[in-house]
Structure 1
Amino acid sequence: MRALYQDCLALWRARSLLWMMARREIAARHAGSAAGMAWAYIQPMLTVAAYYLVFDVVFAMRLGENAPTRAVGAFLIVGALPWMAFCDAISRGMSSLIDSGGVLQKNPLPPVLFPARAVLASMAIHLPLIALVAIAYFPMHHFSVAVLALPLLFLAQLLLCGVLAYLLAILAAAVRDTLQVVTFFISVGIFLSPVLFPVTMFPEAWRWALWINPMSSLVMGYQSVLLSGIWPGAGVWGGIAVWLGVGAWVLDRLIARSRETLVDWL
């Protein structure tokens, strides 16, 4: 893991620059609009409100008895917010090296800064929203000890998004088709996760397929805490650890192999 360690060390040394770049990234996303940075929070909040209005108020849809909550909208919100954060971080992080090719060709900056900037900006936007959901769902979890797992889950999601975004950014620099392939899998990946339905509603013989999605473990963790007030089980933490471990190993190999040629690919 020497190559990955060196990049993490470079990222730590440039942490002040990283934070400044992330703040500018957030401001630049909605520059020129009247509401400015407020749009970064308005859009996810409107999506969440639409889920509640359509599924819980208009249609009053209900899940089965084994679901952590009967209200469909309340269930969707818990998984949808982390999923939106994941999709935004991966999409922007994946294209970050290509978008910053000119800067990297003229300045000896660590390439890891750019996917890290995109991921940090995306997660900084969604963290307050997840915190608001945790407060709004008080009647379900009653601020039990399990709520203390939320910072750990969010940190795990930040690390996972960082690893996958950097990995995909290097692949996209080498093979541009990566952008189209990953964008497609992100668009259909929500159906291979427990975001839209509880795990118990997925055919038992095919539940193993849910673990192909790196967000499945995290979504189950958020649902366990916010909907049931229960500390996430060993399966949740194990799934997160496997994805982080495998992703870090692959990323280390990619960094080592692309160290001398990455800027030329851009």
Structure 2
Amino acid sequence: MRTLSRELAALWRGRSLAWLLARRDLATRHAAAAGGIAWAYVQPLLVVAAYYLLFDVVFSMRVGDAGGRGKPAGQFLIVGALAWMAFSDALSRGMNSLLEAGSLLQKNALPAVLFPARAVLSSGIVYLPLFVVVACIYAATHGLPLAVAAVVPLLLMQLVLSFILGYLLAILAAALRDTVQIVTFFLSVGIFLSPVLFPLSMFPEAWRWVLWLNPMTPLVVGYQAILLDAQWPPLLCWVVPLAWIAGAAALVDLVLARCSEQLVDWL
């Protein structure tokens, strides 16, 4: 993975610039609004509040075990939905990052890797603090168990996975614009093919492998184990994301080795 290693080395050298670009990108998106960057947090917070109010307060619904012994539906949905929103937002922004920075890359000899990193970081600035706050609230209901510490490496794996996949999709989108429409469709239906809206145990066991093809399934299962059951995530929740990261990294290296010289021309 020599090509990807060089890209990551360039990103490390320009880490301060990537961080600056991420904060500026987030500020620019809300520059015309009186509320400024606070609006970036409003949408996910409203979704979280709506899930809790509708499913836990109004309907008092439960998911999982029969006989009313399952978990409160709103609390269950919040864990998976917030993780999915973070992944979907980071992936979408990462995929479009090179297309949006095309004119800048054509005029300046900047490493292309800076822009997917900027997109994923700007998304992380919004969603990571929200998820940490929600995790602390959930963990407090279990007496702050040791398992809550596992949230940090899971979030880091999700951030790395979003960056690698976002960079791969950004290159593919530069080569073929249809990539954006295809990935947007899969992101819209992907939430139904992961245990976000239902427990993994409710899905037919014979077809459960389909859910594990979704890169967010092991992470969502891990978050649910920690925040809903106060348990350490099972081994698959660590192995599968690492396999996704390794596989996506190998694809990025292969694609960059073949088309890095033509990338700016595609933009």
Q: Please, what TM-score do these two structures have when normalized by structure 1? A: 0.97
2:158 paired with 1:161 = no
> Counterpart of 2:30 in structure 1: which amino acid?
H
Output one character per residue of 1:55-96: Cα deviation in whole Å (capped at 9) or x when no partner: 111111111328995210000001111110101001111011
1:145 alignment partner in structure 2: 146
Task: Confirm whether residue 52 of structure 1 aligns to residue 52 of structure 2.
Answer: yes
Counterpart amino acid of 1:224?
Answer: A
Post-superposition Cα deviations, 1:14-57, rounded to whole Å, max 9, x if no partner, equal 01101100110111121111111001111110110000111111
- 1:14 & 1:54 partners in 2: Cα distance? 45
The one-letter code of the counterpart of 1:2 is R
Task: Determine if contact 1:89/1:122 at 8 Å carries over to the other structure.
Answer: yes
Matches of residues 222-237 of structure 1 in structure 2 within 5 Å?
222-237=223-238
Q: How do 1:25-174 residues align onto structure 2 when only pairs under 5 Å count?
A: 25-65=25-65, 70-174=71-175
2:188 maps to 1:187: yes
Mapped to 1, the partners of 2:99 and 2:251 lie a distance apart of: 20
1:6 alignment partner in structure 2 = 6
Aligned residues of 2:169 and 2:179 also touching (Cα < 8 A): yes
Relative to structure 1, the CA distance from residue 258 to residue 43 in structure 2 (aligned partners, 3 Å threshold; closer, same or farther) is same
The structural deviation recorded for 1:139 is 4.7
Q: Please give the per-residue CA displacement for 1:159-181, whole angstroms capped at 9, x wherever unaligned.
A: 00000000000000000000000
TM-score when normalising by structure 2: 0.97
**Distance change (3 Å), C-alpha of 1:172 and 1:68:** farther
Structure 2: distance between partners of 1:27 and 1:251? 29
Task: Provide the C-alpha distance between the structure 2 equivalents of 1:26 and 1:167, rounded to a whole number of angstroms.
Answer: 22
Task: Identify the range of structure 1 (36-45 vs 162-171) with the bigger mean alpha-carbon deviation.
Answer: 36-45
CA distance 1:145–1:68, shift in 2 (3 Å): farther
Superposition RMSD on alpha carbons, in Å? 1.4
Post-superposition CA distance 1:99-144 (Å, at most 9, x none): 1100000000000000110001101211111111112213543211
Q: Is the counterpart of residue 254 in structure 1 residue 261 in structure 2?
A: no
Larger mean Cα displacement after TM superposition, 20-29 or 58-67 = 58-67
Question: Which segment drifts farther, 28-37 or 67-76?
Answer: 67-76
CA distance in 2: counterparts of 1:68 and 1:127, whole angstroms: 31
Partners of 2:51 and 2:187 in 1: how far apart?
20
Q: State the distance in 2 between where 1:142 and 1:115 align.
A: 38
* Paired amino acid for 2:75: A
Structure 1 residue identity aligned to 2:218: S
Q: Distance in 2 between matches of 1:102 and 1:41?
A: 30
Residue of structure 1 equivalent to 2:178: 177
Distance in 1 between residues matched to 2:151 and 2:132, nearest whole Å: 9
| Bigger Cα displacement from structure 2, 181-190 vs 232-241 | 232-241
- Give structure 2 stretches of 5+ with no counterpart: none
Distance 2:239 2:164 in 1: 17
Q: Aligned with 1:114: secondary structure?
A: helix
The runs of 5 or more residues in structure 1 that have no matched partner are none
SS at match of 2:63: coil
State the distance in 2 between where 1:227 and 1:26 align: 32
Whether the aligned pair in 2 keeps the contact of 1:141 and 1:225 (CA below 8 Å) is no
1: CA distance, partners of 2:183 / 2:213: 14
Q: Counterpart of 2:63 in structure 1: which amino acid?
A: L
Please name the residue that 1:210 is paired with. 211
What is the identity, as a one-letter code, of the residue corresponding to 1:30?
A: H
